[in-house]
Amino acid sequence: MSGSDDLVIQVRGLVNQFGSQRVHDGLELDVRRGEILGVVGGSGTGKSVLMRAIVGLREPDGGSVRVFGQNLQALPAARRRQVERRFGVLFQDGALFSSLTVGENVQVPLREQYPELDGRQRDMLSDLKIGLAGLPADAADKYPSQLSGGMRKRAALARSLALDPDILFLDEPTAGLDPIGAAAFDQLLGTLRDALGLTVFLITHDLDTLYTICDRVAVLADKKVLVNAPLHEVEAFDHPWVQDYFHGPRGRAAQAASSRQPSTPAAQNETRTPPL
């Protein structure tokens, strides 16, 4: 059992509503320090809405969200900004600015949060993040339209790392990538988590990602989190969507591929103690 000091995100009784449509009703979720949490659910279950509520881009209609033990909505603006510096966010499709180079995209958070940095300092930091994301140095001067899909995802990841975050929020980071590119991105995420001590909140529909790098999986359905546990517990959860998703043809293929690997990051990390 994880102590409260290990919980970097605590969601209690969350309600999110759009007009008469209630997306979340009493949703509860914990995210532990140092874990990669995979978040899955069918279309319309509000995975992205949940992420936006946690990072403070949407004010919930009820309940509470605490990050690092603090309720962002209740903080003064200056203090809230300090907490938000500890977030890195990769939105769906990367959301890169098409008129800016990769280097300039990575520097956007630096300009906003640290305006006192000069151009040379920003260039050095952006080059470092671009390298961490596995891109060649010359990618800094390219525009998003000049990159492949996989490279654009890495460029967006580099931008999410710009402020040296404690938590990465990733929304479908491998969507649209071929299997080789997706596997390489998964491996990179695992390496970054271990090297930088990151906590990763990962929205995905990719079963290979879940089996390869996720320590736990949270399943959204029926306006709540049905289960939030290691994969072997999630697979056994008695709910029609869970059973269809994890025991259908694609789920069985992902399980078989995972079992052929001698040692996966998820298996290695299942018993690891998250870093303090």
The C-alpha atoms of residue 81 and residue 72 are separated, in whole angstroms, by 9
Residue 238 is assigned to a structural domain of this protein: no
3-state secondary structure string, the chain? CCCHHHEEEEEEEEEEEECCEEEEEEEEEEEECCCEEEEEECCCCCHHHHHHHHHCCCCCCEEEEEECCEEHHHCCHHHHHHHHCCEEEECCCCCCCCCCCHHHHHHHHHHHHCCCCCHHHHHHHHHHHHHHCCCCHHHHHCCHHHCCHHHHHHHHHHHHCCCCCCEEEEECCCCCCCHHHHHHHHHHHHHHHHHHCCEEEEECCCHHHHHHHCCEEEEEECCEEEEEECHHHHHCCCCHHHHHHHHCHHHHHHHHHHHHCCCCHHHHHCCCCCCC
Structurally, the chain folds into a number of domains equal to: 1
Quote the CA–CA distance of 268 and 263 in Å, as a whole number. Answer: 7
267 pLDDT band, cuts 50/70/90, is very low
Could you tell me how far CA 187 lies from the centroid of its own chain? 14
- Residue of 259, 220, 223 lying closest to 242 (CA atoms): 220
Instruction: State whether the Cα torsion 163-168-171-172 is positive or negative.
Output: positive
In a domain, 158, yes or no: yes
Q: Does residue 43 fall inside a structural domain?
A: no
Query: For residue range 97-118, what is the model confidence (pLDDT) as tens digits?
Result: 999 999 999 999 999 889 999 9
What percent of the chain shows pLDDT beyond 70?
88
193: left (phi over 0), alpha (psi -120 to 50) or beta: alpha
**Out of 11-25, 119-133, 253-267, which region has the weakest mean confidence (pLDDT)?**
253-267
Question: pLDDT, tens digit, for every residue of 36-73?
Answer: 999 999 999 999 999 999 999 999 999 999 999 998 88
pLDDT tens for each residue of 120-178: 999 999 999 999 999 999 999 999 999 998 899 999 999 999 999 999 999 999 988 89
- What's the start-to-end Cα distance of the chain, in Å? 15
| 272/6: higher pLDDT | 6
Q: In terms of residue numbers, what domain contains 117?
A: 96-164
Q: Does position 265 have pLDDT exceeding 90, yes or no?
A: no
Q: What is the pLDDT of residue 266?
A: 47
Please name every residue paired with 64 in a beta bridge, in sequence order, or none if there are none: 12
Rounded to an integer, the average pLDDT of 74-87 is 88
Q: How far apart are CA 269 and CA 222, in angstroms?
A: 30
Q: What is the mean pLDDT of residues 208-232?
A: 96
196-214: per-residue pLDDT in tens? Answer: 999 999 999 999 999 999 9
83 within a domain of the structure (yes/no) = no
Is residue 187, in this structure, part of any structural domain at all?
A: no
pLDDT (mean) for 218-245: 95
Check: pTM over 0.75? Answer yes or no. yes
Q: Is 234 within the bounds of a domain?
A: no
pLDDT for position 94: 75
Lowest-pLDDT choice from 77-91, 153-167, 187-201: 77-91
Q: Which phi and psi angles does 25 have, rounded to 5°?
A: -140, 95
Residue 28 has pLDDT above 80, yes or no: yes
The pLDDT of 14-25, averaged and rounded, is 96
Residue 206 lies in a domain: no
Residues above pLDDT 90, as percent of the chain: 75
pLDDT band at 257, cuts 50/70/90?
A: low
Residue 134 lies in a domain: yes
Q: What is the mean pLDDT of the chain?
A: 89
